[in-house]
Each structure stands twice: as C-alpha cells, then as structure tokens.
C-alpha cells in the first residue's frame, strides 16, 4: 500500500514538474523571441535553476540546462542597471518595444492555453458549456471543478470531477434539470446547518466506466468566500465536447477568452478582499496544491491534463500581468510612467523595489505552500 502511494506521489510530482517546465519555458521563450526580434541581446536562456548540468554558446546567448526543474529564466541585457547603454541594451530601445518584450511572456502563455484547449477539444474533452454550442455538447452535468485543500468539502469527501446529482439544505432541493451553479451556490449560502450533496464519484483510472453514487453531508462556513457561506468548491456545467479540427481552434479561442476573464476576475476579487482584510488562504493554492490538481487530472485522462495545464498557463499569464513589483505587469507600469514623464526613474530605486517585491512574493509562496502541506496531514 505504501509503495503504491509513494509511486502515485512520484508520478504526480514528475507530471507536475514537466507541466511547470513547459509553461515557464513557453513564457520565457516569449520574452526571448521578442527581445531578439528588436535586436536586444539575451545573455542567457536557461531551463531549470542552478546548479548547471550543461550549457553551450550560440551567438551571444548562453543556453543552459540546470538541475532544479522548477521553471527557467532569461537574462536580457539591460535588466541589470549596470549594463552599458549599447544599442543592444533593452533600455536603449523605444518604450513600446520594451513593453512588447515584457508582455511577450504573458502573450505566449495565453497562446499556449489556446493551443492546449484546442487540442483537448479535438481529442474530446470535458469542458464548460458556457462557451460551447449545443451541437458539440454531450451530457452536461453540474460538476465540481476544484476542491480547496482543507475545506469543508474536502473533509466531507467531495473530489474534483464529481458530478452533482442533487443538493439540498433541508429547505431547498435542486436536482436534475433544476441544477445550476448559481442555484447550488444559493443552497449552500442559505444553509442553516449543513447541506446534503449527492454526487456521482468516478473511480480513478476508469474514466467514466466505474463510479459510485455517494450522499455527503457538508457543513458550510464563513470566511472562504467574502460575504456568504461556502464549502470550498468551484462548480461549472461541464459536458463532453468534441469538435472538428478547424472548429476546435475557434472554440478553443472562445474557451481561452472565458477562462482568462474568469481567472482575472477571481484574482482581482481575491486581491480586493485581501486589501479589505477579508481574504482567506483557503482560496489559493501553491505548488503543492497545484501539483495535486495536476495529478488528479492526469488520472482522468490526457485531455483532462491538457485542460488543467491550460488553466495553470492562464493563471500564470494573469498573475504576471498584475501591477506588482518584480512581475511583468509591475515592470510595464514603470515603463509606462517613464514614457509619460519623458525621463527614466532612478534605476537603483527600481532595483530595490523589485527586490522587495520578489522577496514578498517568495514569502507569500512559502506561506501558501506550508498551508498546502499542512492540509495533507
């Protein structure tokens, strides 16, 4: 039994690291190609973080493969304030070119999400019905998309991928054709004590061939979502969707738009509640929580893995666009300010602000990761 659990965790870790490496590689590739397009020198393009396994020079760029498979990075000439102001320095280029270079990573992550979603639709995948025409939708069902670690839903036994057959709070019952996301959220928010959720729970590695129908009792609580009771799940109307080759790119684009919009709304809503002091760490997940989600998706099939990779890619794009120091969005804000005032800000001040921002992001990630690990035990 322990050997099986260890093997599952190892497989999940390997899949997660492969997905993470792909997403970060594509992000950094965007920066790299945009920089080279404008004649900006790139000193290094690395996969993973040091210590270095292998490296080689090609032109003026050193390409490296490093030991720690936690993403990657590019070093663009001009990011260091002490770099000489030569024509191939990024800071010597027009402001609009600097913005293009800074935004290219985010753009490539959105493009990757589109390609992954398009491929999943061509293969045949579970997808939200919101962006899909009825002609390519089969068997829609209210589905648990995500379960927050340590939430009442997780403690009750709800899992990502569960299809909700009915939900009641003793006063209101929703079942069959009356089920909807808004309706289910209303039942949960209006519960006096608990809600009874009946789900179809599929067995791992069987797809939809084997499942159990379970009736679970969940106790909603305050603090998960601002202003109302919740149980720590995200829901959506999910159906099996399969499109033709060219159709899949069109509907993949629609899905990418809705996905990115919802991620942005979710992120900035969380930031707003955080500023007001009403946010909870149960609303977010770090690497450990994301690795678990990737592992669960991989168990249900390749298409599901493509979808979760697209979701993470969209999250990476939206997060990087946030106007926070050390992130691409924060650096774009600096370039925009310099363009407006027609002079450069003090580079040493910017470097200090970005350094502090980076340390704050690392600290936040460590806290979230600790929370994710704590919920495992």
Of 56-70, 228-242, 280-294, minimum mean pLDDT range: 280-294
Total residue length of the chain: 377
pLDDT in tens, 176-216: 778 888 899 999 988 888 999 999 988 765 556 688 899 99
Considering the domain boundaries, does residue 26 fall inside one?
yes
Residue 290 has pLDDT above 60, yes or no: no
Identify whether residues 117 and 178 lie together within a single domain.
Answer: no
Going by pLDDT thresholds of 50, 70 and 90, the confidence category of residue 160 is: confident
Residue 6 has pLDDT above 90, yes or no: no
Residue whose C-alpha is closest to residue 65's, from 21, 123, 19, 112:
21
Domain count within the chain: 2
Identify whether residues 213 and 157 lie together within a single domain.
Answer: yes
28 among known catalytic residues: yes
Identify whether residues 92 and 183 lie together within a single domain.
Answer: no
Considering the domain boundaries, does residue 158 fall inside one?
yes
Residue 295 has pLDDT above 80, yes or no: no
Identify whether residues 80 and 134 lie together within a single domain.
Answer: no
Mean pLDDT taken over the chain: 82
Contacts of 81 (CB under 8 A, 6+ apart): 347, 348, 350, 351
Identify whether residues 38 and 102 lie together within a single domain.
Answer: yes
Considering the domain boundaries, does residue 65 fall inside one?
yes
- pTM of the entire predicted model: 0.73
CATH assignment at residue 231: 2.30.42.10
- Annotated catalytic residue, options 28, 154, 163, 296: 28
Pairwise CA distance, residues 146 & 160, whole Å: 5
Pairwise CA distance, residues 50 & 284, whole Å: 28
- Domain ends where: 241, 265, 300? 241
Joined together, the tokens standing for residue 18 give 């492969």
Considering the domain boundaries, does residue 172 fall inside one?
yes
Identify whether residues 191 and 151 lie together within a single domain.
Answer: yes
Considering the domain boundaries, does residue 252 fall inside one?
no
19-23 contacts, C-beta under 8 A, 24 or more apart: 19/294, 19/305, 19/308, 19/309, 19/312, 20/69, 20/70, 20/71, 20/287, 20/312, 21/47, 21/48, 21/69, 21/71, 21/72, 22/112, 22/309, 23/71, 23/109, 23/112, 23/309, 23/312, 23/313, 23/316
Considering the domain boundaries, does residue 246 fall inside one?
no
Going by pLDDT thresholds of 50, 70 and 90, the confidence category of residue 90 is: very high
Domain limits for position 145: 129-241
Of the ranges 14-23, 296-305, 321-330, 332-341, the best mean pLDDT one: 332-341
Considering the domain boundaries, does residue 289 fall inside one?
no
Identify whether residues 90 and 188 lie together within a single domain.
Answer: no
More confident residue, 230 or 4: 230
- Domain ends where: 184, 217, 241? 241
Going by pLDDT thresholds of 50, 70 and 90, the confidence category of residue 114 is: very high
More confident residue, 135 or 275: 135
**Contact (Cβ atoms closer than 8 angstroms) between residue 257 and residue 131:** yes
Identify whether residues 15 and 95 lie together within a single domain.
Answer: yes
Pairwise CA distance, residues 298 & 308, whole Å: 9
Identify whether residues 135 and 110 lie together within a single domain.
Answer: no
Considering the domain boundaries, does residue 357 fall inside one?
yes
Residue 240: enclosing H or E segment and its boundaries? strand 233-241
Residue 367 has pLDDT above 80, yes or no: no
Pairwise CA distance, residues 308 & 295, whole Å: 10
């Amino acid at each position: 039994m322990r050997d099986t659990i260890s093997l599952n965790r190892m497989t999940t870790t390997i899949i997660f690291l492969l997905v993470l490496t792909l997403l970060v590689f594509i992000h950094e590739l965007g920066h790299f190609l945009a920089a080279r397009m404008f004649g900006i020198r790139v000193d290094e393009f690395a996969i993973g973080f040091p210590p270095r396994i292998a490296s080689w020079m090609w032109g003026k760029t050193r390409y490296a493969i490093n030991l720690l498979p936690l993403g990657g990075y590019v070093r663009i000439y001009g990011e260091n304030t002490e770099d000489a102001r030569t024509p191939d320095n990024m800071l010597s280029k027009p402001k609009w070119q600097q913005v293009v270079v800074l935004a290219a990573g985010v753009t490539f992550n959105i493009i990757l999400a589109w390609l992954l979603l398009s491929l999943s639709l061509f293969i045949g995948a579970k997808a939200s019905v919101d962006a899909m025409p009825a002609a390519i939708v089969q068997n829609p069902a209210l589905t648990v998309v995500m379960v927050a670690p340590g939430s009442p839903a997780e403690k009750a036994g709800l899992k990502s991928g569960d299809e909700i057959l009915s939900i009641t709070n003793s006063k209101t019952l929703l079942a069959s054709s009356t089920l909807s996301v808004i309706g289910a959220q209303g039942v949960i928010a209006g519960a006096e004590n608990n809600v009874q959720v009946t789900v179809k729970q599929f067995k791992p590695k069987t797809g939809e061939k084997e499942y159990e129908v379970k009736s679970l009792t969940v106790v909603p609580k305050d603090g998960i979502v601002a202003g109302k009771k919740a149980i720590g799940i995200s829901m959506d109307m999910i159906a099996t969707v399969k499109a033709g080759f060219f159709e899949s790119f069109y509907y993949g684009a629609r899905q990418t738009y809705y996905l990115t919009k919802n991620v942005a709304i979710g992120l900035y809503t969380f930031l707003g509640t955080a500023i007001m002091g009403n946010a909870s760490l149960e609303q977010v997940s770090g690497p450990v929580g994301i690795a678990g989600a990737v592992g669960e998706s991989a168990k249900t099939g390749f298409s599901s893995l493509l979808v979760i990779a697209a979701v993470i890619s969209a999250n990476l794009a939206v997060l990087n666009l946030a106007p926070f120091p050390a992130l691409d969005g924060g650096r774009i804000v600096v370039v925009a300010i310099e363009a407006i005032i027609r002079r450069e800000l003090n580079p040493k001040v910017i470097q200090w602000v970005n350094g502090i921002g980076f340390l704050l992001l690392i600290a936040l990630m460590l806290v979230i990761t600790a929370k994710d690990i704590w919920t495992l035990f």
